[in-house]
Structure 1
Amino acid sequence: MALALLCCWVWLRPSTGYINTDGPSTTDLSGLRLPKHKYAYVGFLAAPEKASDNDDEDNYFVATRILAYSLLHDPSTRTNTSIPFLVLVTEEVRQSKRTRLEMDGVTVIPVSRLSWDWIRPGRERWRDVLSKFYLFTLTQYERVVFFDSDTLIVQRMDGIFDDPAARLQKTASNPENAPPEEGAQPSDFAYASVSGQGGFDHPYPPRRGSNCNAGFVLFRPCLVLFKHYLTVAEKAEGKFDPNYPEQNLWNYVHRRKGNMPWQQLDPTWNVNWATMNDWRKGAKSLHTKWWSPGPEKDLRDLALSLKWKMEGNAIGRDRIKSYP
């Protein structure tokens, strides 16, 4: 064990200490005292379908910890400009998980559930995904990159904020794309993503498509846009498929022929249905589950190696913090 700890690169970050994570959940994040920076990385964690006293049985919780390790601690991938990593947690996420994430250097932000009767997700574990809309109230930051928890960071991500797709766009004024019942649209916006690949058999670089993947989004937080999403969810029944709630609402609001079309990030920033070919050819992050990454043994080994590095790093940091 001692040798393993010596082999583990340990980099201590200051405690976050900004938010009472066992207090009431938040509905507007714009007034919170958060780590100061121009940019932020953000994740999202909901409670699992089946409750357990063993936090490590929650694969998405473990995945969030791996993401935190990669963004904040791993010498090969961590931010070199001190970009903070925030994680929105829903009301049912156990306090023990919130505390562990804070120990990992994460700023944990509790949020309440958003739901509408007509929006029924295709899977029970997606019941809280509409709470991702709160991301857009993080107006303390000029740009935010959101990662789904099941993302493996394999190269440093800081350069993404310089991608041309991150630039501010002027909202078009076509009245046909702005029905009054859907609420006001902002005068400008920034919303960029990558396209889904639909399967493991895809080329590299990945294809550019018409629909964006909600598991990887770069955006400018904006309260007007946040309120617009809420109004669309309330008033636009039937205009998008609620099976994938937040993804299909975002694809409706940011449709290519609408007033606020989503912008295409360089597709090498993130690949879903990821393969070792994507990794070898330079993909910077892989949208894949560490516990079930697909048929390739090498990709499973890569995912497990990140998990083990995270665990070893945490043991080392915890021991250092326990010294008088």
Structure 2
Amino acid sequence: MPKAMLTQPFLALKASLRLVFRAFYLRRKATIAVVTLTLLWLFLSSCRRPPLIDPEFGLVRNTTSESKYAIATFLTGGNKKSLNAKDLDSNPYNIATRVLAYQLLHAEETRCNASVDFVVLVTPNVPKYTRDQLTADGAVVVEAKDIPLSWWVSTGVTRWKDQFLKLRLFEMTQYDRLLFVDADTLIRGKLDEIFNELEVQRPAQTLSHRVRRADEAPLPAQYMFAARSDNQFTGERRHPFPPLNTEVFSAGFWIAAPSQELFDYFLSILKHYRRFDPHTMEQSLLNYAFRRDGPMPWREMHYKWSATWPNSGDVEGHVVTLHEKFWKTGPQDLRKLWREQKGNMQRYFSKHGN
């Protein structure tokens, strides 16, 4: 075969390889450039100094004899966009909400001072019949407006989106202090006395020397937020009494000074990817916002006020609120107590035409 015929394919292959290597080289340079710019952006972002805390921004007053208080809970209609009049009649959370109303407003051994409102925050699909019934029971019924959520905020829990609506309670600044309790809570004493605790009466100063993020909304100069450690992390049902303190609080029981500044801060957290673990929804967000090593660490309330995973030690220790779905779980003696309260509620409201 002539030499020229051998040379042509070789030259073509050589030219093709040169193009391939050049393209690879250019792509590699582009990749390196992108990575370099990304690292530079992250470095510069981390170097951004967070804004100084305005000493006059978001101030919180000490409570006085004129202060206004509320105890609040939350009721969702579930996934359906609209419900018929009595669709929630047999819903266990609706029943539990009415048991709370009975215990906090009417039962002699647990009812609060008449000046303390019982607020039920409801989702838009809770029917008018249910709202009117709760109003007749004595509750202040408030519809929660939607809260925009980023795409990454999701979980496998059926009603996960609704749980973030609880943050709307922080906008209820007509109250000086607001105590939130989940509907699945059994009341065992005078809960409104919690408003007399020093941790509740006095606000805390936001710690300006603690690390805070520049890409989040400005922090208020003062805040008031307290909760109880979650017994899930100290043995669950077998937790000791008195219980141990943990780094994580239960979002089924907390007390705060409502604040528009705090609410805006929460919304800014929601904008940033995985700033908190969305699996436990608003509980993770609140634990991030009030993390112990952060600028607004949460205060630990005395263990007498609330217990998750309640056991006999909590009962003997006269804990005021026991958090459990007693209609289906929990110790048998406590389930019996809850059924008794449910029966008392039904008889009381039936007698009064509710």
Taking structure 2 as the reference length, what is the TM-score of the superposition?
0.76
Task: Work out whether 1:306 is the aligned partner of 2:341.
Answer: yes
* Contact 1:193–1:216 (Cα < 8 Å) also in 2: yes
Residue in structure 2 matched with residue 44 of structure 1 by the alignment = 74
Residue in structure 2 matched with residue 171 of structure 1 by the alignment = 206
How many Å separate the matches in 1 of 2:210 and 2:247? 22
1:57/1:172 Cα in 2 relative to 1: closer, same or farther (>3 Å)? same
Superposed CA deviations along residues 64-85 of structure 1, whole A, max 9, x for unmatched, are: 1111111100000000353110
- Written as runs of structure 1 = structure 2, the 5 A alignment for 1:236-247 is 237-247=273-283
How many Å separate the matches in 2 of 1:55 and 1:293? 21
Residue in structure 1 matched with residue 189 of structure 2 by the alignment = 155
* Contact 2:77–2:88 (Cα < 8 Å) also in 1: no
* Contact 2:210–2:293 (Cα < 8 Å) also in 1: no
Task: Work out whether 1:211 is the aligned partner of 2:248.
Answer: yes
Match of 2:159 among 122, 125, 134: 125
Matched residue SS, 2:251 = strand
Moved more, 51-60 or 201-210: 51-60
How many Å separate the matches in 1 of 2:214 and 2:141? 36
Superposed CA deviations along residues 100-140 of structure 1, whole A, max 9, x for unmatched, are: 10010001001122233211034012221111111111111
Query: Structure 1: any 5+ residue segments left out of the alignment?
Result: 1-35, 320-324
Matched residue SS, 1:215 = strand
How many Å separate the matches in 2 of 1:125 and 1:248? 16
Moved more, 225-234 or 41-50: 41-50
Cα deviation, residue 155, structure 1: 0.6
Task: Work out whether 1:275 is the aligned partner of 2:311.
Answer: yes
* Contact 2:184–2:324 (Cα < 8 Å) also in 1: yes
Query: Structure 2: any 5+ residue segments left out of the alignment?
Result: 1-65
Residue in structure 1 matched with residue 271 of structure 2 by the alignment = 234
Cα deviation, residue 289, structure 1: 1.2
Matched residue SS, 2:89 = helix
Residue in structure 2 matched with residue 259 of structure 1 by the alignment = 295
**Letter paired with 1:45:** L
How many Å separate the matches in 1 of 2:106 and 2:67? 18
* Contact 1:206–1:268 (Cα < 8 Å) also in 2: no
* Percentage of matched positions with identical amino acids: 35
Task: Work out whether 1:100 is the aligned partner of 2:100.
Answer: no
Superposed CA deviations along residues 276-323 of structure 1, whole A, max 9, x for unmatched, are: 3312221000011131232x221110110011111111011117xxxx
Moved more, 143-152 or 272-281: 272-281
* Contact 1:48–1:58 (Cα < 8 Å) also in 2: no
Matched residue SS, 2:99 = helix
How many Å separate the matches in 2 of 1:208 and 1:122? 29
Task: Work out whether 1:85 is the aligned partner of 2:118.
Answer: yes
* Contact 1:42–1:145 (Cα < 8 Å) also in 2: yes
Cα deviation, residue 37, structure 1: 5.7
Matched residue SS, 1:181 = coil
Moved more, 145-154 or 113-122: 113-122
Q: Which has the higher helix share?
A: 2
Superposed CA deviations along residues 227-273 of structure 1, whole A, max 9, x for unmatched, are: 000111112x2221101111001111100010000000001101011
Cα deviation, residue 94, structure 1: 1.6
* Contact 2:304–2:317 (Cα < 8 Å) also in 1: no
Number of residue equivalences? 281
Of structures 1 and 2, the larger Rg is shown by 2
